[in-house]
Amino acid sequence: MTEALIAAGDIPARGWNLLRTDGIAPGERLEFWRHATSTLFPPTQVRRASGEGFYGRISWQEFGRVTLADIVSTDIEVSRTEEQIASGDDWYEVNLQVEGSTAFAQGGRDVVAQPRTMLLYDSRQPYRMLFEGHYRQLSLKVPRQALRDRVPGIDLLIARPIPADTLPGRFLYDFATTLCDLGQDSQAQAFAGRIEAHVIDLLATALSGLGEGGPLSAGRQAQLGRVKSHVLARLDDPELTPAAIAQAQQISLRSLYELFEGEPHQVAQWIKLQRLDRIRADLCDPLQQGLPITTIALKRGFKDFSHFSRAFRARYGISPRDFRKSQLH
């Protein structure tokens, strides 16, 4: 498959490489794009209503163990499932949003990355990225152990926005964008080893600063992680309420709300969003095509179908019925 991609993408012998969908038949573009991105990064799934109107371009260069990619595309959904995770996935990845926005979800945390925002994520955990229109994003693939050695408690920083207006964040963002903008005019390959070290150190500094200024201590982050694990294990229970969660975790209701103060959503809203994401995945599943949508919604913890339908449309901009039809036909 790599040889086919190289032939189709017109990749130069060294330096910056390029793959794009120009010249690819519309019906083959999504599969081409999936193979292209999964060649560079840990494998993912891509989803779109149709290949018609889709355009994608990815250029990249390797600097030692670090890969820097410049990705431009129209709207698309990218996800990584448990089945795609392998023991050899020894990477962290960082997205630097340049244009457009990305809705990202991993480890029970949902965040929207706007331009000049960076996000860290883990190739050993499932995730979902949703691009609703044209975007440009830089992506870094960094050796897992190199960051773990430099950033204590790094897993607490997954899916936390790293603003590029802080000093360490700006250093990393500007360095990466400059490398991409220089492109073939750059002599960077001649000192790839130094660039690798610079990227890892700048990223580690930006992440360490984020941890120091985080809204929760490491102990409370661990407690929040336990609460979220408890919720996700019981998400389909319609009686899962903040009060029930607080009682099960032996904390006060007020303490539970305080744990979520630094999160994008409070606890009840977070539970609803997790249920919606599960239902969305169910509606894409051909094996559940015969189940009525009402049955799926009730099975996932919603008590009222009308409430579910409104919530689904508010989150995804489409009715559950129309969404299922677009995915399975």
Give the CA count within 13 Å in the CB-facing half-sphere of 253: 5
CB atoms within 10 A of CB 310: 12
**pLDDT score at 191:** 62
Q: How many CA atoms lie within 13 A of 306 on its CB side?
A: 0
Distance CA 320, CA 283 (A): 8
One digit per residue, the tens of pLDDT, for the chain of length 329 reads 333 443 334 444 346 889 999 989 988 999 999 998 888 888 999 998 888 889 999 999 888 889 999 999 999 999 998 888 876 778 999 999 999 999 999 988 889 999 999 999 999 889 999 998 999 999 999 988 888 867 767 888 899 888 888 887 888 999 999 888 876 555 555 566 678 888 988 898 888 766 544 445 567 767 887 888 889 889 999 999 999 999 999 999 999 999 888 777 889 998 998 899 888 878 877 778 889 999 999 999 999 999 999 999 998 889 999 988 887 66
Residue type for 113, please? A
- 0.95 exceeded by pTM: no
Residue 39: φ, ψ to 5°: -75, -35
- CA–CA separation, 218 and 208 (whole Å): 13
Residue 306: partners with Cβ closer than 8 Å, 6 or more residues away: none
Q: Cα-flanking dihedrals φ and ψ of residue 143, to 5°?
A: -55, 130
Task: Look up the CATH architecture of domain 218-328.
Answer: Orthogonal Bundle (1.10)
DSSP assignments along 115-127, one per residue: TTEEEEEETTS-E
Q: What tokens were used for 37?
A: 């991105």
Q: How far apart are the first and last CA of the chain?
A: 28
d(CA 203, CA 30): 31
Tell me what pLDDT residue 3 has.
Answer: 36
**Count of beta carbons in the 10 Å neighbourhood of residue 21:** 23
- Pairwise CA distance, residues 165 & 162, whole Å: 9
| Secondary structure class of 201 (helix, strand, coil) | helix
**CA pair distance 218, 147, nearest whole angstrom:** 18
3-state secondary structure of 94: strand
Other CB atoms closer than 10 Å to residue 208's CB: what's the count?
A: 17
Are 200 and 145 in contact, with CB atoms under 8 Å apart? Answer: no
Residue ranges of domains in the chain: 65-212, 218-328
> Tokens 């490489």 correspond to what residue?
17
Query: Looking at residue 10, what is its pLDDT?
Result: 41
Q: Which of 64, 75, 8, 67 is nearest to 36 (CA)?
A: 8
65-212 folds as Jelly Rolls (2.60.120)
Torsion sign, CA atoms 278, 284, 287, 292: positive
Can you tell me which residue has the tokens 């360095």? 175
Q: Which residues pair with 138 in a beta bridge?
A: 70, 96
